[in-house]
Amino acid sequence: MENNLVAAVRAGEKPAVGPADALEALRAAVGDDLQRVNTLIVGRMESQVPLIPQLAGHLVAAGGKRLRPMLTLASARLCGYRGDAHIGLACAVEFIHTATLLHDDVVDESDLRRGLPTANAVWSNQASVLVGDFLFSRAFQLMVESGSLEVLRILADAAATIAEGEVGQLITANEPETAEAAYLEIIRGKTAALFAAATRVGAVIADRPPHEAEALDAYGLNLGIAFQLVDDVLDYSAHQSVLGKTIGDDFREGKITLPVILAFGRGSDEERAFWRRTLERQEQHEGDLAHAIHLMERHGALGETIDRARAHTDAACLALETLPNRPERQILADVAAFCVDRAY
């Protein structure tokens, strides 16, 4: 029997709600809580050291979708939570995410993030490292305020897994022979672990039975993997310029993502030589990015990556089935669909 939520989401390969609508519905579902989170984010970025709110303010202005904190808020509501701890935890989740972005900026030398100059283009590498550390510490302070050791354990574990994933990515950078399994392990760490923790804590603070926490963890984990896979596709998709990112960032940095792994694995000797030159040795010339996209399309690498992403959003929706049938459940399923549909 096909899962209802999966079926609803996959119906005609077009979900009932459009991608933008799914995020809008999520925003509507969490209601005033998101505003409370935003207020807390600004408040907790305060410091007697003026550079911190200055740089943090830069990130707040850049905004972002607040997808992760909204997932925490919606998960808590789905679990019938009635207290206030979800506000602080959603803020902590966003701080961990932002700290990761700041440290990534140092690492990746990416030119644009969210359509604005990255923090480290405006300030220095050093400030990015240290303000990231500050936000990371603030996240732990917020987690301590939740009063739950279980919540602290979940998010501390996630933070360690994120760092392991990031280091793993550093090692595989420029190595097109990276195995698919190793790549999936990396994105499970660097992206999906925080999604999983963000949703799982909703069940924990609501004091729900372990299987519901597991279900929300599985939802977040699969959603995060799908999210990253689609991100990897978008970096080779002209369409993504509307998202405010520079197309070809991953290519220029020699980052090895699933589309590259698939195209490399299916490529001729000549094509592999192309990938080795451009990504391993990073000798890139005009037209190389276009050729890379051409090779990916020839081998169906982008389409197949999206298919894999869809398999993970299916798994995410399947996990939701065991949770209470509240409105938030369908909204979370629609968010999973949005995750893949933004690729088109």
Site string for a second copy, 86-115 (x = CB under 8 A): -----------------x--xx--------
Whether the CB-CB separation of 96 and 105 falls below 8 Å is answered with no
Which of 24, 27, 38, 166: binder of a second copy (CB under 8 A)? 166
Total binding residues toward a second copy, as defined by CB under 8 A: 42
Binders of a second copy among residues 20 to 49 (CB under 8 A) are 47-49
The DSSP secondary structure of 215-238, one letter per residue, reads HHHHHHHHHHHHHHHHHHHHTT-G
Q: Is 144 in the site for a second copy (CB under 8 A)?
A: yes
Q: Is 203 in the site for a second copy (CB under 8 A)?
A: no
Of positions 9, 74, 159, 198, contacts a second copy by CB under 8 A: 159
Q: Which is nearer to a second copy, 74 or 131 (CB)?
A: 131
Instruction: Indicate the residue type of 321.
Output: E
Q: Which stretch binds a second copy (CB under 8 A): 73-81, 124-132, 201-209, 232-240?
A: 124-132
The reply to whether 273 sits near a second copy by the rule CB under 8 A is: no
Residue 133 makes contact with a second copy by CB under 8 A:
yes
The DSSP result for 184-196, as a single string, is HHHHIIIIIHHHH
**In this structure, which amino acid lies at residue 296?**
M
Can you tell me the distance from the alpha carbon of 56 to that of 135, in angstroms, rounded to the nearest whole number?
9
Measured N-to-C along each axis, helices 258-266 and 210-234 cross at an angle, to the nearest 10 degrees, of 60
Give least dist CB 291 to a second copy, A. Answer: 28
Tell me: does residue 122 bind a second copy (CB under 8 A).
no
Q: Is 324 in the site for a second copy (CB under 8 A)?
A: no
CA distances (Å), 193 to each of 188, 200, 204, 229, 239, in order?
A: 6, 10, 16, 14, 27
3-state secondary structure of 139: helix
Q: Near a second copy by CB under 8 A, which window of 6-14, 157-165, 242-250, 299-307?
A: 157-165
Minimum distance from residue 328 beta carbon to a second copy (Å): 28
From candidates 168, 176, 202, 254, binder to a second copy by CB under 8 A: 168
Give the shortest CB-343-to-a second copy separation in angstroms.
Answer: 28
137 binds a second copy (CB under 8 A): yes
Residue position matching structure tokens 């220095």: 124
User: Residue 311: which of 336, 277, 328 has the closest Cα?
Assistant: 336
Q: How far from 244 is each of 109, 117, 142, 302, CA to CA, in Å?
A: 16, 10, 31, 20
Q: For residue 155, how far is the Cα from the chain centroid?
A: 15
Residue 156 engages a second copy in binding (rule: CB under 8 A): yes
The pair of three-digit structure tokens given for residue 246, joined into one six-digit string: 């520079």
Nearest approach, Cβ of 63 to a second copy (angstroms)? 23
For the bound state, the minimum distance from the C-beta of residue 27 to a second copy, rounded and expressed in Å, comes to 30
- The amino acid at residue 343 is A
Tell me how far CA of residue 224 lies from CA of 22, 237, 258, 281, in angstroms: 16, 20, 15, 30
Biggest CA–CA distance in the chain, Å, is: 60
Q: Please, which residue, 53 or 303, has the CB nearer to a second copy?
A: 53
Nearest distance in Å: CB 43, a second copy: 14
d(CA 87, CA 44): 12
Report the interface residues with a second copy, using CB under 8 A: 47-52, 103, 106-107, 124-127, 129-131, 133-134, 136-138, 140-141, 143-144, 147, 149, 152-153, 156-157, 159-160, 162-164, 166-168, 170-171, 185
